[in-house]
């Protein structure tokens, strides 16, 4: 449904077509002509799963797909296949949409089998295949037709299945994340959870190795058998880079049909279902950082970690280890630890910002709004040899260039530089 609760725009329809046609909702299944799937879904696992995928448009805009998968009740001896409810949104409001999907699940189960037709029908079904008058349809329309809301706002959605006179709630209050304005992958978004990234067998050492691979824009694959944990871990890895932002291929869950992307000669950050790892190992993938969340095993690029400044890395490691003690953690504290790493290594760039009015901008310098960064002076002023190595290496990354350009534009526009 569109933002007005109606059928949506042509752009909305295109995104739905991609999500459906490329099987993003069932990423670990391999589809073959004439059959539902060449992997028989497990009939034993009945615990609902919730996970996300991401669609990136030509201008770099990301749309998040929020999924909740469950197995319908047994219907005699008929084969059961999992059902996925999915909401597409430009907003990375994880708790908001997952709460809405959890609330509507029982009412989806109460519906007759959904139509797979892509168009309207004579029985009053919508283009989603759901009856237009059903309570579940009305609720999802109301969720999609929410008004524009700022960070921290509370939106109240009526519950169409409420029976007046009963003691059950008649509406559902959904809260927009406090840091929602920061965007989908930023650690400033409190909906980002770091536990899936840290609380695995590999522990802090694996997390630091992953962080180093991301800083140097490696080709990065996280794999795991639990889609909930896997997609959340990929979002957390992306968030660890804040205030920088990953600019390349970003797939929290990679469908089977996209596995050839892993041979691409460009950086990527993807979550690969464990069922597809054997297929990955058959591909000519070179210099790919792979962290297996199930076993904690990971490929190692010692040069990456050794090129990071010693003190900031030790401080980051100590902060992460402190958070892991006792099995409890503070997501805000973990996000702050990653930010402190960048603050200590990249923060001094402000001293090397030059106005074009004072000195002509040299070719190749990062510039915006009449300001440019003297990268050579910035590197030369590095506190240690490793700091200099890091700054030299990051100059070749796209996320560093975008970050500096945005900061220069903000400074030129008088917005200050809160980052």
In a 10 Å sphere around its CB, with 0-12 CB exposed, 13-18 middle and 19+ buried, how is residue 12 labelled? middle
pLDDT at 128 > cutoff 60: no
* Residues 318-341, mean pLDDT to the nearest whole number: 89
pLDDT digits (tens, 9 = 90+) for 138-183: 888 888 776 567 777 788 888 878 777 776 777 788 888 776 554 4
Contacts of 408 (CB under 8 A, 6+ apart): 353, 366, 367, 368, 369, 371, 372, 373
| Helix, coil or strand: residue 63 | strand
Task: Assign a CATH topology to domain 10-112+135-184.
Answer: Beta-Lactamase (3.30.450)
pLDDT digits (tens, 9 = 90+) for 332-374: 899 999 999 999 999 999 999 999 888 888 888 999 999 999 9
pLDDT at 189 > cutoff 80: no
pLDDT digits (tens, 9 = 90+) for 59-89: 778 889 999 998 877 766 666 678 888 888 8
Query: Which DSSP symbol is given to 268?
Result: E
pLDDT, position 39: 43
Cβ of 390: how many Cβ atoms within 10 Å?
A: 22
List the domain boundaries for the chain.
Answer: 10-112+135-184, 196-343, 348-414
* Residues 233-238, mean pLDDT to the nearest whole number: 95
pLDDT at 221 > cutoff 90: yes
pLDDT digits (tens, 9 = 90+) for 258-298: 999 999 889 999 999 999 999 999 988 878 999 999 999 99
Angle at 382 (CA atoms; ends 378, 385), nearest 5 degrees: 135
**Residue 262 φ then ψ, to 5°:** -70, -10
Class of the CATH domain delimited by 196-343: alpha beta
**Cα first-last separation, the chain:** 36
pLDDT, position 45: 54
CA 220, distance to chain mean position in Å, is 14
């Amino acid at each position: 449904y569109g933002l007005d609760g109606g059928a949506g725009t042509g752009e909305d329809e295109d995104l739905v077509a991609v999500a459906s046609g490329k099987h993003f909702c069932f990423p670990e299944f391999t589809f073959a002509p004439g059959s539902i799937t060449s992997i028989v879904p497990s009939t034993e696992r009945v615990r609902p799963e919730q996970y996300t995928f991401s669609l990136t448009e030509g201008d770099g805009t990301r749309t998040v797909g929020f999924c909740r998968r469950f197995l319908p009740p047994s219907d005699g001896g008929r084969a059961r296949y999992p059902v996925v409810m999915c909401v597409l949104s430009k907003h990375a409001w994880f708790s908001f949409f997952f709460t809405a999907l959890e609330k509507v699940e029982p009412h989806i189960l109460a519906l007759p089998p959904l139509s797979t037709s892509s168009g309207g029908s004579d029985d009053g079904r919508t283009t989603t295949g759901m009856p237009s008058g059903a309570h579940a349809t009305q609720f999802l329309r109301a969720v999609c037709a929410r008004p524009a809301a700022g960070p921290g706002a509370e939106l109240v959605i009526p519950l169409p299945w409420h029976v007046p006179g009963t003691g059950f709630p008649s509406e559902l209050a959904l809260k927009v994340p406090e840091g929602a304005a920061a965007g989908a992958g930023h650690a400033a978004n409190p909906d980002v959870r770091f536990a899936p990234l840290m609380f695995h067998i590999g522990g802090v050492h694996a997390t630091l190795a992953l962080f180093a691979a991301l800083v140097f824009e490696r080709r990065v694959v996280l794999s795991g058998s639990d889609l909930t944990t896997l997609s959340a871990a990929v979002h957390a890895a992306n968030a660890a880079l804040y205030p920088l932002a990953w600019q390349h291929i970003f797939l929290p869950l990679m469908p089977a049909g996209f596995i050839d992307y892993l041979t691409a000669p460009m950086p990527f950050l993807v979550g690969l279902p464990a069922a597809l790892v054997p297929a990955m190992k058959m591909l000519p993938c070179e210099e790919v950082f792979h962290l297996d969340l199930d076993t904690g095993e990971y490929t190692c690029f010692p040069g990456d970690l050794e090129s990071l400044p010693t003190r900031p890395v030790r401080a980051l490691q100590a902060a992460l280890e402190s958070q892991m003690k006792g099995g409890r953690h503070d997501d805000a504290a973990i996000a702050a630890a990653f930010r402190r790493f960048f603050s200590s290594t990249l923060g001094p760039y402000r001293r090397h910002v030059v106005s074009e009015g004072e000195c002509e901008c040299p070719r190749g310098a990062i510039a915006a709004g009449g300001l440019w960064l003297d990268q050579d002076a910035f590197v030369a002023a590095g506190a240690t040899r490793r700091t200099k190595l890091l700054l030299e290496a990051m100059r070749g990354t796209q996320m560093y260039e975008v970050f500096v350009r945005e900061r220069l534009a903000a400074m030129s526009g008088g917005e200050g530089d809160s980052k």
